[in-house]
Amino acid sequence: MSSPCDIQKRREICFHATPPGQIERALPLLAGLPRLSARQTGAQCIEVAYCVQEYTLQALEVGLTGQGFHLGTTLLSKLKRALIYYVERIQRENLKVPEVQTKNYQAHVEGWGKRPHGDHDDTPNDEWRQYK
């Protein structure tokens, strides 16, 4: 069983130097999220503290880039990000945290079942299925 300190994360999000003023715009966005704290730690960095059951670094960074922010692109920062993304994904799987469903596949499943396609087995009975 995980102790609370195992699932509480402190991560650093570093922004690219251009465009200027990204930190000032990102801090209120991140600080406005429930049960997440954010503070500036450097000229281009923000430290975020969150529970891995509620947030992941990848989700936070995807949200920031979707809002038009530019993250640091050094090789070291990319390697750190990839490792953190992997570790948090595995930890969430081990904690049995369900994946966020972004697409509704039920409509596709129902539509596929109604269309004629070649994925049906027309073998007449069980004895033909076992024929060797």
Look up residue 39 and give its amino acid: R
Residue bearing the bigger pLDDT, 106 or 57? 57
DSSP state of 109: H
Angle, nearest 10°, between helix axes 75-94 and 57-66?
130
Task: Say what the pLDDT of residue 10 is.
Answer: 95
123 pLDDT band, cuts 50/70/90, is low
Task: Say what the pLDDT of residue 1 is.
Answer: 47
Residues pairing with 51 in the sheet: 8
Task: Say what the pLDDT of residue 30 is.
Answer: 93
Domains in the chain (CATH in brackets) are 4-94 (3.30.70.100)
Task: Say what the pLDDT of residue 76 is.
Answer: 94
Task: Say what the pLDDT of residue 106 is.
Answer: 72
Check whether the bond before 4 is cis (ω within 30° of 0): no
DSSP state of 97: P
Q: How far apart are CA 42 and CA 45, in angstroms?
A: 5
Task: Say what the pLDDT of residue 5 is.
Answer: 56
Q: Looking at the predicted structure, is the pLDDT value of residue 127 above 70?
A: no
Q: Looking at the predicted structure, is the pLDDT value of residue 29 above 90?
A: yes
pLDDT digits (tens, 9 = 90+) for 58-101: 999 999 999 999 999 999 999 999 999 999 999 998 888 777 66
Q: What is the mean predicted confidence (pLDDT) over 105-123?
A: 66
